[in-house]
Amino acid sequence: MGLVRPFFLVWGILYFMADGRNLLYLSHHLIMRYSLQLVSCNISLFFKKTVMQNYNATKRVLVTGGAGFLGSHLCKRLLDEGHEVICVDNFFTGTKDNILPLLNNPRFEILRHDITFPLYIEVDEIYNLACPASPIHYQHDPVQTTKTSVHGAINMLGLAKRVKAKIFQASTSEVYGDPQIHPQTENYWGHVNPIGFRSCYDEGKRCAETLFFDYYRQHRLRIKVARIFNTYGPNMHPNDGRVVSNFIMQALQNKPITIYGDGSQSRSFCYVDDLIEAFIRLMDTEDAFTGPVNTGNPGEFTIKELAEKIISLTVSKSELQYQPLPSDDPIQRQPNINLAREKLGWEPQIKLEEGLKKTIPYFERILKG
C-alpha cells in the first residue's frame, strides 16, 4: 500500500499536465519502475530470510576437553551437524590422535589452553568437558584436578556470561559418592567422603554444579547439567585405569584380568554414541530445563560379569585376579533415567555386548601400533 498511494498521486498530477499519449507513456514507465522495486524488495527479503536462517543454524561451539575421549566424539558430532567447532584442550589426558580425523575440516580449530586460566573468545555455545575423569589421572595431581573443576567452571561461566552463550556442564555420577539408594535419581544428594583420595574429583564436580546453578539464579545464565555414568567406546585412553579399558587391554594380551574386591560390585555401562546423543538433546531443550539429568545406561552388570564377557568376546586365555578394593570405591552405581526419557526423549540404544564389539577393535589397533 505504501507504493500504491504515491503512484496515483503522481498519475493525477500528470493528468492535468500532459496530453493522453504522454500520459499513457509515463503511466507505463511508472508502473514498470514500481513493479521492479516491488520484485527487488521481495527478492531482498527472501534472500535475507533464507541466508540468515542458514547462518543462524550454524553455531560456533566451544568444546573444552575436546581432544579427550568424550570430547573428540562430541566434536565430530557437532561438525557432522554443520557447526563450527573450537576444541580447547591442555592435552594432559586428551591426545591429538583422537582428533586427527577432524583436522582437515575447515570448520574445526584446536586451541591448546588450560581452562584454569581465563579464555576470551566469541562463541554461541559451550560444552565444558575438561577434567581428568579416571582415578589414575585425577589422583596424579589432586589439587590441579580440583582447580580444573572449580576454577575451570568459573572461567567458562564467566565467558558464557560475557558472550551470552548457553553452557553445558559435564558432571558425573561421582557426585552421588557411594550411594545409599539404588538406582540413583537426580534428587538424591549423595553420600560422599569430602577428604578421601577420590574427593578432588567428586567434590570438585559437586562444587562445579553449585557454581552453575548460582550463575543461573544470579545472572540468569542458560545452563545444562548432565550427570554422566560409566561410558566406554573408541578413543578411551588405553592406560586410564577404567574398568572397560583395563579389562580389554589385559584380555587382548592374555594377561590376568585385575578385579578389585570380589567382583560383585555393580556398574552400568553406556556406549559413547548414546551418551553424545543425550548431550545434544539436552542442549536443545528449552531454557527452563537446566537439569541435572542422569545420562547413562540403566542396564546393570557386576564387574565379574563384565570381565567374563570381555574374555569371551576377545577369545582370551586371561584368568581373573582379585585385589583389595580401593578406598571409597562405590559398591553400586546405576542411573535412574526417567527424567532423561521424559525431557529428552532419550534412552540408550546400544547393548553392552554390541558396544564392546565396536570398542575392542580400537584397542587391537593400539596394541598393533
Catalytic residue among 127, 138, 176, 201, which? 201
In contact, 196 and 328? CB cutoff 8 Å: yes
Question: What phi and psi, each to the nearest 5 degrees, are found at residue 167?
Answer: -130, 140
179: how many CB neighbours lie within 10 A of its CB?
20
Using alpha carbons only, how large is the chain's radius of gyration in Å?
Answer: 28
Locate cell 553420600: which residue? 191
Sign, CA dihedral 277-225-62-138, equals negative
In contact, 102 and 75? CB cutoff 8 Å: yes
Whether residue 201 lies in the annotated active site: yes
In contact, 67 and 100? CB cutoff 8 Å: no
User: CB under 8 Å to 189, separation ≥6 — which residues?
Assistant: none
Active site members: 201
